[in-house]
Amino acid sequence: MAAVLAVSVVGVGLWQAAVVLWDIPQILLPSPSQVLTAAWENRGALAKGFLSTATAAVLGLSVSSVVGFITAIVLSLSKTLRQAMYPYIVFLQTVPIVAIAPLLITWSGYEFRTVVLVSAIISFFPIVS
């Protein structure tokens, strides 16, 4: 743990030194102190965004837990359904969420329910398997 902290402190120090010594423009690479200042000045918006994201993640996990648990039970009880559905579940699991999320946003807009759906999709497959 101490090594991780030491490497992190050295990394941030090198970042700050590089920005100052090489006079890197803020638009290309802001210094750690500028990042912390901006975070402090925008703490209200950051807190609101954090709460929205955390809520969507918890709701998505809750939905996928219920649906995934029921799906897993149904698939374990019925050999016919398992043989019919499991190949599709495995196939859908291989599709990256980076490819699915833009489609969902295009179809339903960037709304809270879309974020919850993406969260549910991410956590559904580990629960079923």
pLDDT tens profile 82-105: 999 989 998 988 989 899 899 999
Domain locations along the chain: 1-41, 43-129
Distance between start and end Cα atoms, the chain: 33
Tens digit of pLDDT for each residue in 103-118? Answer: 999 998 889 999 999 9
> In this predicted structure, what is the pLDDT of residue 66?
97
Count of helices and strands (H, E) across the chain:
6, 0
* Residue 30 to residues 15, 18, 41, 53, 62, Cα–Cα distance (Å): 9, 10, 15, 25, 38
Q: Residue 129 has what pLDDT?
A: 82
- Output the average pLDDT for the chain: 93
pLDDT, tens digit, for every residue of 40-56? 999 999 999 999 999 99
* Non-local CB neighbours of 102 within 8 Å, separated by 6+ positions: none
